[in-house]
A and B are shown apart, each in its own frame.
Chain A
């Protein structure tokens, strides 16, 4: 796979920083999901999302070392 795409995919890894460090966006009680206030399930949801983005970045790299 070409190097350009690998580099581009790495920019995906910036997304979790924005999603989690912009606190006013998620410091809310509603909507509640399965009893969890938004503040909690939103942050928990970033775990699989970040893992998935990292996986895409991983797949896009040559990993020849």
Chain B
């Protein structure tokens, strides 16, 4: 792909980037509460978001710029196996429908802002609260870094090399998040999603037309995989279990992340969340079609340095400069929305479950909001440093572990919504087993998320996150049974 600057593309890109920056700062005034100096105003938008805003916000922070770049890249590289993102983002919604309204209600009734608050309120265990909070923060950091990977791919295609564009856009993001809180990404999500929809609809309609139709796209990809000797349009028999467990495990993990929970907690009712579980799959349709851009890359005969370039290179090759610029702006802005929500989610966790718990229990409401604002800045700077000074592969590996880690908070966060049987020590033991056991398995598998298992017959591979979750639950049950049932504080 060319890496010279196309003035038209760059001008269109800058126009939209400036537009959302202005919107980000205006957002502090949008649906303005009496004060932003409260953590649930700054960090949850006052729990006032109805169906539409929730749809844009959750959609915006769940389907990220990294998804737009990485899912097609994986499909480009390995074929059918990379498509597991589609079943994953379908089966996540029945789970959201059943569980998240209950969690929302618990949070709303007790004024909880984070997963750590929920766990502390339920089990009265500071240790479990800390485990959940730390898991949230460390699973989120590499996720933010990956948004930067998405942006970098776009900047590269625009011909903007070096680290300054990335740092500049991130500082702008940090500043408006600081001033407007969750209202900024919620407002920007409208623009971002409309842009992404236009881009994807244009891509899936026009690109196959230029490349001889979908039949030809699939045939070209098939030929490319055969020539390469790896990857396939269909799964191999030993990939079935891996495909299904990756989809299920990712679906269970997805709404344990601080940023997705933030989107849930910011809703105005359980009804809004249920309605969204039926409406959000519209994005999944988009994701599935986007994934096929990976195959279109083969049909277009692209020669790429990195699979992550497949989407930007397609737009550059097949569309005129102004539309490529528009598409790149959509992807870059698509990185800012989730990065903002992620930093807010992590900041909320730090403030409520670390600062308030250990440093200053008497912190005022205004003080809480202040700490959260400053933390959101630090979190973003941290993610930027990770990308600038550590190899990208490191962020990828950490994010992979992040998914496995965050899944280990599910028993603590969800089981208590339905039963009072589990107690803090059991769930903490389960978390320890799942967290460290899962990490160990990934480590001995050479940083691959799959573990080979042989039960006498044909060997198959299983997603380690799901294995760790099972071990987690088993350990929690055993410890719960053997430890004496003392009266557990329920705040």
Chain A residues close to B by CB (< 8 Å): 10, 13-14, 16-17, 20-24, 27-29, 32, 34-37, 39-40, 43-44, 46-48, 50-51, 53-55, 57-58, 61, 63, 65
* Chain B, interface SS category: helix
- Residues A48 and B281 in contact, CB atoms below 8 Å apart: yes
Partner of B288, one of A21, A23, A32, A43: A43
Query: Known contacts A21-B248, A27-B234, A50-B281; can you find 6 more A-B pairs with CB under 8 A?
Result: A13-B94, A17-B248, A34-B214, A47-B86, A63-B270, A63-B271
Interface status of B411 (Cβ within 8 A of chain A): no
A28 to B292: give the CA distance in the assembly, Å: 17
A40 to B285: give the CA distance in the assembly, Å: 11
Interface status of B243 (Cβ within 8 A of chain A): yes
A-B contact pairs, 6 of them (CB 8 A): A17-B94, A20-B87, A23-B235, A35-B208, A65-B101, A65-B270
A14 to B95: give the CA distance in the assembly, Å: 10
- Residues A46 and B87 in contact, CB atoms below 8 Å apart: yes
- Residues A44 and B234 in contact, CB atoms below 8 Å apart: no
A50 to B88: give the CA distance in the assembly, Å: 12
A21 and B274 contact, Cβ closer than 8 Å, known pairs A48-B281, A54-B93: no
Interface status of B275 (Cβ within 8 A of chain A): yes
Provide the residues of chain B in CB contact with A32, threshold 8 Å.
215
Interface status of B244 (Cβ within 8 A of chain A): yes
CB distance from A33 to the nearest CB of B (A): 10
- Residues B94 and A50 in contact, CB atoms below 8 Å apart: yes
A29 and B274 contact, Cβ closer than 8 Å, known pairs A16-B91, A35-B214, A46-B90: no
CB distance from A23 to the nearest CB of B (A): 4
Provide the residues of chain A in CB contact with B215, threshold 8 Å.
32, 35
Interface status of B319 (Cβ within 8 A of chain A): no
Provide the residues of chain B in CB contact with A47, threshold 8 Å.
86, 90, 281, 284-285, 288
- Residues B233 and A20 in contact, CB atoms below 8 Å apart: no
- Residues A54 and B234 in contact, CB atoms below 8 Å apart: no
- Residues A58 and B277 in contact, CB atoms below 8 Å apart: yes
Provide the residues of chain A in CB contact with B269, threshold 8 Å.
65
- Residues A16 and B86 in contact, CB atoms below 8 Å apart: no
A24 to B235: give the CA distance in the assembly, Å: 9
- Residues A13 and B80 in contact, CB atoms below 8 Å apart: no
Nearest opposing residue in chain B for A62, CB measure: B271
- Residues A63 and B244 in contact, CB atoms below 8 Å apart: no
A14 to B281: give the CA distance in the assembly, Å: 16
A58 to B280: give the CA distance in the assembly, Å: 14
Provide the residues of chain A in CB contact with B313, threshold 8 Å.
none
Provide the residues of chain A in CB contact with B218, threshold 8 Å.
35-37, 40
CB distance from A58 to the nearest CB of B (A): 5
Provide the residues of chain A in CB contact with B105, threshold 8 Å.
65
CB distance from A46 to the nearest CB of B (A): 5
Provide the residues of chain A in CB contact with B270, threshold 8 Å.
63, 65
Interface status of B194 (Cβ within 8 A of chain A): no
> Could you tell me which residues of chain B, from 299 to 318, have a CB within 8 Å of some CB in chain A?
none
- Residues B292 and A23 in contact, CB atoms below 8 Å apart: no
- Residues A54 and B90 in contact, CB atoms below 8 Å apart: no
Provide the residues of chain A in CB contact with B94, threshold 8 Å.
13-14, 16-17, 50, 53-54
A21 and B90 contact, Cβ closer than 8 Å, known pairs A13-B97, A35-B214, A51-B281: no
Partner of A54, one of B208, B214, B247, B277: B277
